[in-house]
Amino acid sequence: MTTPSHPTKLPAPLESLGIELETAILSSDVGNTALNLIEVGIDTALDSGALRDIPVLGTVVGIGRLGMSVSDFFLIRKLRDFLSPLSSLTPGERRSLSGNIAADPKYARRVGIKVAELLNRVDSDLKPQMIGACFAALAKDEIDVAMLQRLTHAIEMLPPFHLADVSKFHAEAGGGSYSTDQDYGAAIHRVGMAEAHATYGGAPAYSRNAVCDAYIKLGLHLF
């Protein structure tokens, strides 16, 4: 039996990564975490051991001791890309992010571990930064936690080759119009960004919903 190359759940020893990530999401150091890694460079940081001094990422550097594989390199890159959109948040937006997450106790519980597991699962170089942009939107009160969860679910589940189709679908499937595309229209519906409607021909037609609207409004189609 073939062992999956990208586990869907973080190994138990890396639960501490989720705890540190939660702190980074809700602290003023999140920008420094991302920017330090960008300035140093992943390859250089790995070679020099500089990652050990960067919050959150230093935990991942224990990969050798924890028996992890080279996939940790990609996890570090995903963490950097996720944190990047949060680096420009103001102190007020940071407080808003913390408050908005805390307002939903069910989601707030172990939020860092949930995000770490999500980043470990996503299958596109674009998706970590898109997820970070959703958290930045929550900090700016552009969306609520419910929409955050719906958007991050859609981003995770939508095949990478359909990411570029969302803007096209949004343009053709709103304002009383419908998309009858059974490829990207069906895919966008499956991840919760469209509603299906019965037609006389038998094949469903699709209309965009609030999640699709938020996806476009936040500029996630531009990544």
Judge whether 110 lies within some domain: yes
The verdict on 23 and 68 lying in the same domain is yes
Query: Quick check: 118 and 149 in contact, CB under 8 A?
Result: no
In total, how many domains does the chain have? 2
Judge whether 7 lies within some domain: no
> What is the C-alpha to C-alpha distance for residues 116 and 15, in angstroms, rounded to an integer?
9
The model's confidence at residue 32, banded by pLDDT at 50, 70 and 90, is low
The verdict on 80 and 151 lying in the same domain is yes
The verdict on 180 and 143 lying in the same domain is no
Q: How many helices (H) and strands (E) does the chain have?
A: 14, 2
Judge whether 51 lies within some domain: yes
Whole-model pTM?
A: 0.81
The verdict on 114 and 20 lying in the same domain is yes
Judge whether 50 lies within some domain: yes
**Looking at 157, 181, 202, which one is the last position of a domain?**
157
Of 52-56, 162-166, 195-199, 213-217, minimum mean pLDDT range: 52-56
In terms of residue numbers, what domain contains 174? 162-222
Q: What is the pLDDT of residue 65?
A: 46
Calculate mean pLDDT across residues 103-132: 91
12: which DSSP letter?
A: G
**Looking at 157, 184, 207, which one is the last position of a domain?**
157
**Which residues, at least 6 apart from 182, have a Cβ–Cβ distance to it below 8 Å?**
203
| Furthest-apart CA atoms within the chain: distance in Å | 65
The verdict on 152 and 178 lying in the same domain is no
Pick the most confident of 33-42, 53-62, 169-178: 169-178
Judge whether 1 lies within some domain: no
The verdict on 146 and 116 lying in the same domain is yes
